[in-house]
Amino acid sequence: MKSGVGAPTRARIPDKTLRTDRWWLPPLLTNLGLAAFVVYATIRSFWGSAYWVPEHGYLTPFYSPCLSESCLPGSSHFGTPLPELPGWIPLGFLALPFLLGFRLTCYYYRKAYYRSVWQSPTACAVAEPHDRYTGETRFPLIIQNAHRYFFYVAFLISIINTYDAILALTHGLGLGGIILLVNVTLLWAYTLSCHSCRHIAGGRLKHFSKHPVRYRLWTLISKLNVRHMQLAWTTLATLVITDLYVMLVASGVISDLRIIS
Ligand code: FES
């Protein structure tokens, strides 16, 4: 038996929607934005070169941490515990699945791609194409419940990205160092504004007054949390800008703009 708008108890409305506004525009823009990032990130992750600028200490976040013997000399800030990797394995393969999982299970991104990609539903008052609705109770969407575990790993990776940015600044100050620093600052803002982080800070408390530190943290995170959507998109953009800049400098297309050598 059909459920949702096809359920027998629902009014029979043959039109897909009675809305007359441009309700399709936000999901379309979301699709285009997500697709552009996925294509760029996939190409760059498998690129295998132009990810490290030794003279300025710039390492793109797509290849951090670089832990194999295939990594360029100097780019492995935490050693090379892994052997050489075949070319079809991205050098950032340890962090990338977790970062992908973190974004895929993010509460904001769920809203975005459930509407735009999965169309469940595409917009308010627009009938969805699916016959049944099972929410996040079955595989694969039940994995969404693991978001807080992806958060823990993303938190660690943010620390690593911070280390990379600080290391770059020890080589003097250039535009690349500023870009790395801005990127990691925004990544922290995105990571700390996470709904799971907010819950970890202040969830399951009966009396805020008995936990002033957690309450303070929860208050600060709540202020960031209202910007989570903007931070989600901004950090996609800064990740691309950071990687693109490092790639252009590493491949010799442009020179780094030096402020203090
Ligand atoms: Fe978006 Fe956790 S809710 S990162």
| Residue 187 near residue 235 (C-beta atoms within 8 A) | yes
Supply the pTM of this predicted model.
0.93
pLDDT by residue (tens digit) across 54-65? 999 999 999 999
What ipTM was reported for this prediction?
0.99
Cα-to-centroid distance, 103 and ligand 1 (Å): 7
Average pLDDT over residues 163-169: 97
Position in ligand 1 atom list of the atom nearest CA 197: 2
Give the span between the Cα atoms of 227 and 202, in whole angstroms: 18
Position in ligand 1 atom list of the atom nearest CA 196: 2
Pocket test for ligand 1, best of 98, 158, 193, 236 (most atoms within 8 A of CB): 193
Average pLDDT over residues 141-168: 97
Neighbouring-strand partners of residue 260: 173
**Residue 111: alpha-carbon gap to chain centroid:** 14
Q: What is the pLDDT of residue 1?
A: 56
Tell me which residue has its CA closest to atom 2 in ligand 1.
194
Q: What is the pLDDT of residue 168?
A: 97
pLDDT by residue (tens digit) across 83-139? 999 999 999 999 999 999 999 999 999 999 999 998 888 899 888 888 777 888 888
Q: What is the pLDDT of residue 120?
A: 84
Residue 180 neighbours by CB distance under 10 Å: 29
Per the structure block, which two tokens stand in for 235?
């950090």
Of 132, 181, 98, residue with least CA distance to 4:
132
Q: What is the pLDDT of residue 222?
A: 98
Q: What is the pLDDT of residue 2?
A: 66
Give the span between the Cα atoms of 148 and 122, in whole angstroms: 26
List, chain by chain if needed, residues with CB within 6 Å of any ligand 1 atom: 102, 106-108, 147, 151, 194-196, 228
Per the structure block, which two tokens stand in for 129?
């194409």
In this model, does residue 8 exceed pLDDT 60? yes
Residue 186 neighbours by CB distance under 10 Å: 17
Position in ligand 1 atom list of the atom nearest CA 109: 1
For 119, counting Cβ atoms within 10 Å of its Cβ (0-12 exposed, 13-18 middle, 19+ buried), the class is middle
Tell me which residue has its CA closest to atom 1 in ligand 1.
106
Position in ligand 1 atom list of the atom nearest CA 191: 4
In this model, does residue 46 exceed pLDDT 60? yes
Cα-to-centroid distance, 198 and ligand 1 (Å): 10
- In this structure, what are the phi and psi dihedrals at residue 82, rounded to the nearest 5 degrees? -105, 150
Average pLDDT, the chain: 94
**Residue 98: alpha-carbon gap to chain centroid:** 10
| Residue 65 near residue 53 (C-beta atoms within 8 A) | no
